[in-house]
């Protein structure tokens, strides 16, 4: 035992194991990114993650952020949410759920899967397999809506 605090949880270790479990070598940057994402269920942009990582002493380049997020997404650790035409959100909640997207604030919030019931799924186009279903409720903050 390498004389380390032992009572404290060791998120690095845990997260390292989790990453290894899905075949990802837990490098410093990846662990850092994972810690930020998995601190709680949330929706973050690549930019926000870059800023978080770099404000915590650790550093990671933009390329690494994108590489890592892509990797995590392909491995099913996070989910890409495409609702904002200018940027992708990375959702650390991978259980089935849907989203509200506030067009005015750009805010993204979760909707529990059981709040929406979808029946009668359409049959898929020939030779395709389903990757996922995204259900997005686009809302606006209620103020007399200007239209022009």
Q: Which residues bind DNA (CB under 7 A)?
A: 24-30, 45-47, 59-64, 66-68, 70, 85-88
Picked from DNA, a second copy, none, the partner binding residue 28 (CB below 5 to 8 A depending on kind) is DNA
Q: How far is the CB of 71 from a second copy (least distance, A)?
A: 8
Q: Which helix (H) or strand (E) holds 108?
A: strand 108-112
Picked from DNA, a second copy, none, the partner binding residue 9 (CB below 5 to 8 A depending on kind) is none
Q: Within positions 82 to 141, which residues make up the interface with a second copy, using CB under 8 A? A: 82-85, 87-88, 98, 100, 102-103, 109, 111-112, 114-122, 124-125, 127-141
Rounded to the nearest 10 degrees, the angle between the axes of helix 28-38 and helix 11-21 is 100
- Cα-Cα-Cα-Cα torsion 9, 55, 83, 71, nearest 10 degrees, comes to -60
Q: How far is the CB of 1 from a second copy (least distance, A)?
A: 36
CB 109 within 8 A of CB 115: no
Our finding on whether 64 is near a second copy (CB under 8 A) is: no
Q: Are strands 43-45 and 87-91 parallel, antiparallel or unpaired?
A: antiparallel
């Amino acid at each position: 035992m390498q004389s380390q605090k032992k009572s404290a949880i060791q998120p690095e270790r845990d997260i390292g194991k989790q990453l290894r479990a899905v075949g990802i070598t837990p490098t410093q940057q990846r662990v850092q990114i994972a810690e930020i994402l998995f601190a709680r269920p949330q929706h973050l942009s690549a930019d926000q993650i870059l800023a978080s990582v770099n404000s915590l002493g650790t550093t990671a380049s933009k390329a690494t952020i994108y590489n890592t997020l892509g990797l995590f997404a392909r491995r099913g650790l996070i989910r890409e949410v495409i609702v904002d035409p200018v940027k992708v959100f990375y959702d650390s909640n991978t259980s089935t759920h849907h989203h509200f997207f506030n067009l005015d604030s750009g805010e993204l919030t979760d909707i529990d899967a059981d709040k929406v019931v979808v029946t009668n799924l359409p049959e898929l186009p020939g030779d395709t397999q389903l990757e996922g279903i995204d259900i997005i409720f686009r809302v606006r903050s209620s103020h007399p809506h200007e239209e022009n």
